[in-house]
A and B are shown apart, each in its own frame.
Chain A
Amino acid sequence: MISIENVKKVFSTKNGKVTAVDDIDLTIDKGEIFGIIGYSGAGKSTLIRMFNGLETPSSGSVVVAGREMSKIKGRELRQARQEIGMIFQHFNLLWSRTVRDNIAFPLEIAGVAKEERLKKVEELIKLVGLEGRGDSYPSQLSGGQKQRVGIARALANDPKVLLCDEATSALDPQTTDAILDLLVDINKRLGLTIVLITHEMHVIRKICHRVAVMEAGRVVELGPVLSVFKSPEQPITKRFVQQVTELEESKETIGHLLEQFPESKVVKLTFIGESAEQPVITNLIRQFNIAVNIVQGKVSQTQNGAYGSLFVHLTGEQEELAKAVAYLDKQEVSSEVISHA
């Protein structure tokens, strides 16, 4: 659905050249929810804006739904854009129009007849769960409701691709989850390809099939979400994965434990899919003469399966501890001894 090759974007500013996107190749399949994660300034927005021609690449090619976005202009470009929906962090709704008229706007642009427009708008209002709010103005809606209007508007012309630039970054956690559920629902129902930018791993974990990690204009890691979670390679990816697997407070707890019991060990066990069902802890206690204390555990659902992490604190004789750790290493769960928090 989307394929980009050797794409580069260089901005010339007063303080010299800024390479926002640095030689990226990507292929995004039809029906896929593809996440792009990176810290501020990594070039995520610049990249996604090239998908609908809001930005033209300095070099390389961007093909979306069979159209070479980087080459087309004028009417052809406008037509192509009608097949690509986009939602924004700050919603970007027209405050002078009601919810209904905001959703109708792209239909007006596409020249859809009034009757059909009204019908389509009602469908969309239902799809995003805004029944009864059609005559409200954006200023009368909550952030989550505004984003629902944004989504309905982006879907109005039955696009093939939906681009989301930090679509949930201005929302609270509950609302974020509700919007993400809506996106998954739309993806399943309409078979829509979704490209989503975020700096929260939670968003990637919850809805994406594949993820690309961006740093300084480059894609440094790419793969199915579950495998990136299981074995993140780059340091930046590891930090992102920690966002969802470790709680801030548990770091402190682990630090305290290791200080208090310098001879003990804290082990992080990572369960992927099936392995989550193995009785690893039971075996550990039965087979070795050690005490096992659970510090923190968490299971998260991703689009390609479950992913869990468990922090255990092991105390006992040095020898037994070493044997226990060796045992854990042999199991299907991956384990990692944490020496400092």
Chain B
Amino acid sequence: MLEQWFPNVDWEKMWEATNETLYMTGVSVLATFILGILLGLLLFLTAKGNIWENKAMYSIVSAFVNIFRSIPFIILIVLLIPFTKALVGTMIGENAALPALIIGAAPFYARMVEIGLREIDKGVIEAARAMGAKTSTIIFKVLLPESMPALISGITVTAIALVGYTAMAGVIGAGGLGNLAYLDGFQRSRSDVTLVATVVILIIVFVIQMIGDLITNRLDKR
């Protein structure tokens, strides 16, 4: 029956492309999570009235984040070609997409982290200081756990955006479902291939959203 409805779909290829998309999304989400939290913490802690208040530092990080957040992803990939070539050695394949994916998403996520951290009651941080907590204790035992639901729902949104980015990266040459839909589907006028690739992407997005919501709800004890 599948043969009938989708005559041009090569299921093995589709499966391979799905794995490539999952790989690109997975690695970039993980890297974005870590990098974004680091940048977000830096933004939060160096902001006015905070533990590491430092105007120069805050302005620099903030400008960096704003610039990379504003560049459209498709342009970012092109801009990063020399950097990617130096780092990965090629512009083809899933790994070639990673630098652009991470550099595009981490600043975006860093802002969400900053907002999440700002929502923590100042009094709680002060209580920890009054107990004699070190800055590292405050970061790992107060800031991160208290903002975890916001961090998770933020990374969910970012992950979904990243799935979209991988598809765009696919058009340029990195593998995955986007690549398949564009080369095999669009360019060869096989709309069934495009359709199936789209449906698979939708499923991935739904699953990410579901997992994200589940974890957020579990963590949120407010």
Contact = CB atoms under 8 A, between A and B. Distances in A.
B145 A97 contact: yes
Contacts of A247: none
Interface in B107-157: 121, 123-124, 126-134, 137, 141-142, 145-146, 148
A95 B146 contact: yes
Nearest to A77: B132
B91 interface: no
B221 A139 contact: yes
Given A96-B146, A139-B222, A108 B141 contact: yes
A86 B130 contact: yes
A96 B123 contact: no
B197 to A, nearest CB: 40
Contacts, number: 65
A96 B132 contact: no
B126 A96 contact: no
B221 A79 contact: no
B141 A105 contact: yes
A109 B136 CA distance: 11
Interface in A58-106: 77-82, 84, 86, 88, 90, 92-97, 105-106
B219 interface: yes
Given A109-B137, A139-B221, A79 B146 contact: no
Contact of B133 (A78, A95, A137, A139): A78
Contacts of A80: 132
A78 B145 contact: no
A52 B142 contact: no
B133 A109 contact: yes
B137 A90 contact: no
Given A54-B129, A105-B141, A95 B222 contact: yes
A18 interface: no
A10 interface: no
Contacts of A110: 132
A93 B124 CA distance: 6
A95 B221 contact: yes
B3 to A, nearest CB: 53
Contacts of B132: 77-82, 106, 109-110
Interface string B142-180: 100110100000000000000000000000000000000
Nearest to B142: A94
Contacts of B133: 78, 109
Contacts of A96: 145-146, 148, 219, 221
Interface of A: 52, 54, 77-82, 84, 86, 88, 90, 92-97, 105-106, 108-110, 137-139, 153, 157
Interface of B: 121, 123-124, 126-134, 137, 141-142, 145-146, 148, 219, 221-222
Given A90-B121, A95-B146, A96-B148, 12 more contacts: A78-B132, A81-B130, A86-B130, A88-B123, A90-B123, A92-B127, A96-B219, A96-B221, A108-B137, A109-B133, A109-B134, A153-B131
17 contacts: A54-B129, A78-B133, A81-B129, A81-B132, A82-B131, A86-B130, A95-B221, A96-B145, A96-B148, A105-B141, A106-B131, A109-B132, A109-B133, A109-B134, A109-B137, A110-B132, A153-B131
